[in-house]
Amino acid sequence: MTTPFKAIEITDDIYWVGAIDWNLRRFHGYDINRGTTYNAFLIKDKKNVLIDMVRAPFKDELFSRIRSVIEPEKIDLIVSNHAEMDHSGALPDTIDLIQPEKVLASAKGVEALKAHYNIDQPLEAVKDGSEIDIGRSKLKFIETKMLHWPDSMVTFVPDKGVLFSQDAFGLHLATSERFDDELPESILEYEAAHYYANILLPYSKLIPKLAEKLSELDIKIFATDHGPVWRSRLEWIVDLYKKWAAQKPTMKAVIVYDTMWESTALMSRALADGLREGSASVKLMSLAAHTRSDIATELLDAGAILIGSPTINGEMYPTLGEILTYMKGLKFQHLIGDAFGSYGWVPNKTVREIRDKLSEMKIELVSENGVSCHYVPTDDILMHCRELGIATAKMLKEKSK
Ligand code: FEO
């Protein structure tokens, strides 16, 4: 049928019918750089199945792409792998249009969909490991609890080797290309790291188990809910996930700071010089120039975090409070760190409080006290910063052996 939006066949009888959100930059408190896609998939079989949906404002795009293959009313089943609204927002309208026999989700998924949309019928819970027959193919449901919500599950089509992996292996990347092998590896790696650091990192301990579960399946395609469909670099992306989950210490340090009258900025540069002298690689990130999501991404393969703040009204700069709160939730492992900063008339409080926050996150401190500076750094203070950089690099060398 001629429709304004077309489906794209990803393998025999399986179609991408999602939507592209080209200019989205703020996504549930997470800053993204290149927009995103909401991937939904249609399986044509004796029973036609819709796997996941799109955000509510994109429902007409979804319906149009489905209509380019079959009339939406011919869909028999909907599978909701994940109840978050970027994949289920269109559910109430989709149920109204399609009148499916069932909407299948995990038990927690059914609970979440009920809570979001106040619907009951035709929701039905599927068990972990259960299978259903849809004609020529079967669908197998595998729970992936807390990756990254309690309801999360994936759906596997064994005869086609397609795994509908919901958020797992997703990228926030809006492009006209639909497959991983149509895109540069460097962009895929950066955006996959960005996604992992900001969404999956707190659940890293569950990744090896996921990788083990997936290794038991003969998977040819990861049909993820965001970004390109993976058909060529499956092993590559699974290996990256294993590496990021392990968070092994490296010789990379990230310095994050804000500055009022350039004192903390100058201190951060002396610190960076000391780190370089100790052979560490350094990323110097001002909070005026970088989002918390970009900082989390740089920290994903780092071994150290150094945080610098001026003092305002007796407290650390609010921007530093934000990054510390964000870091705490992401539960970074194996980092070392320290703090530095300036004050006018409340000596050392800011640096002490940042160090306390780092300790709460189980980040091992490099020095006894960090470096505090009264108003403007003297050469002596800058030398202390340089020495803190050298000491950090030395500790990193020990940790990354
Ligand atoms: Fe893409 Fe957790 O939603």
DSSP secondary structure, 221-234, as one string = EEEESSSPBBSS-H
Enter the pTM of the model: 0.96
Which residues sit opposite 75 in a β-bridge? 48
Rounded Cα–Cα distance for residues 271 and 284 (Å): 10
Q: Show which of 246, 266, 292 is a domain's final residue.
A: 246
Rounded Cα–Cα distance for residues 96 and 117 (Å): 13
- Find where tokens 């795009």 sit: 61
Spacing, Cα 166 to ligand 1 middle (Å): 7
Cα distances (Å, whole numbers) of residue 91 to 108, 114, 277, 382: 16, 11, 56, 58
Number of domains comprising the chain: 2
Please give the helix or strand (H or E) that residue 311 lies within, else none.
strand 311-312
Spacing, Cα 199 to ligand 1 middle (Å): 9
- Using the CB atoms, write b or e for 172-208: b if 16+ within 10 Å: bbbbeebbbeebeeeebebbbbbbbbbbbbebbebbe
Spacing, Cα 267 to ligand 1 middle (Å): 39
Query: For 256-299, what is each residue's pLDDT tens digit?
Result: 999 999 999 999 999 999 999 999 999 999 999 999 999 999 99
Assign residue 210 the CATH number of its domain: 3.60.15.10
Q: Which of 17, 21, 23, 22 is nearest to 5 (CA)?
A: 17
Q: Which domain holds residue 187?
A: 8-246
CA of 38, closest atom in ligand 1: 1
Query: For 184-198, what is each residue's pLDDT tens digit?
Result: 999 999 999 999 999
93 is catalytic: no
For residue 334, tell me if it sits in a domain: yes
Rounded Cα–Cα distance for residues 312 and 300 (Å): 30
For residue 317, tell me if it sits in a domain: yes
The reply to whether 286 and 315 lie within a common domain is yes
Q: What is the DSSP letter of 198?
A: I
Please give the helix or strand (H or E) that residue 51 lies within, else none.
strand 48-51
The reply to whether 391 and 274 lie within a common domain is yes
241 is catalytic: no
- Give rounded-to-5 percent helix, strand, coil for the chain: 40, 25, 35
84 is catalytic: yes
Spacing, Cα 12 to ligand 1 middle (Å): 26
For residue 2, tell me if it sits in a domain: no
Residue 363's region, left for phi above 0, alpha for psi from -120 to 50, else beta, is beta
Bridge-based pairing state of the strands 36-38 and 8-11: unpaired
- Find where tokens 């492992």 sit: 333
Return the axis-axis angle of helices 292-299 and 185-195, rounded to nearest 10°. 100
The reply to whether 140 and 177 lie within a common domain is yes
Cα distances (Å, whole numbers) of residue 162 to 20, 219, 248: 21, 6, 31
Q: Catalytic pick from 52, 61, 151, 167? A: 167
Q: Show which of 246, 264, 297 is a domain's final residue.
A: 246
pLDDT of residue 120: 86
Q: Show which of 215, 246, 277 is a domain's final residue.
A: 246
pLDDT of residue 121: 86
Mapping DSSP to helix (H, G, I), strand (E, B) and coil, where does residue 12 land? coil
The reply to whether 30 and 166 lie within a common domain is yes
82 is catalytic: yes
Residue located nearest, by CA, to atom 1 of ligand 1: 167
**Residue 269, φ and ψ in degrees, nearest 5:** -75, -35
For residue 3, tell me if it sits in a domain: no
Q: Which of 253, 285, 296 is nearest to 397 (CA)?
A: 253
Contact 144, 153 (CB under 8 A): yes
Assign residue 354 the CATH number of its domain: 3.40.50.360
The reply to whether 221 and 299 lie within a common domain is no
Q: Using a 6 Å CB cutoff, which residues line ligand 1?
A: 82, 84, 86-87, 148, 167, 225-226
The total of other beta-carbon atoms located within 10 Å of residue 379's CB is 8
The reply to whether 107 and 209 lie within a common domain is yes
Which residues sit opposite 343 in a β-bridge? 374
Rounded Cα–Cα distance for residues 139 and 41 (Å): 13
The reply to whether 212 and 266 lie within a common domain is no
Residue located nearest, by CA, to atom 2 of ligand 1: 84
Mean pLDDT by 10 residues, the chain (401 residues): 94 98 92 97 98 98 98 98 97 97 98 95 96 98 95 98 97 97 98 97 95 94 98 97 96 98 98 98 98 97 98 96 97 97 94 98 98 98 98 96 84
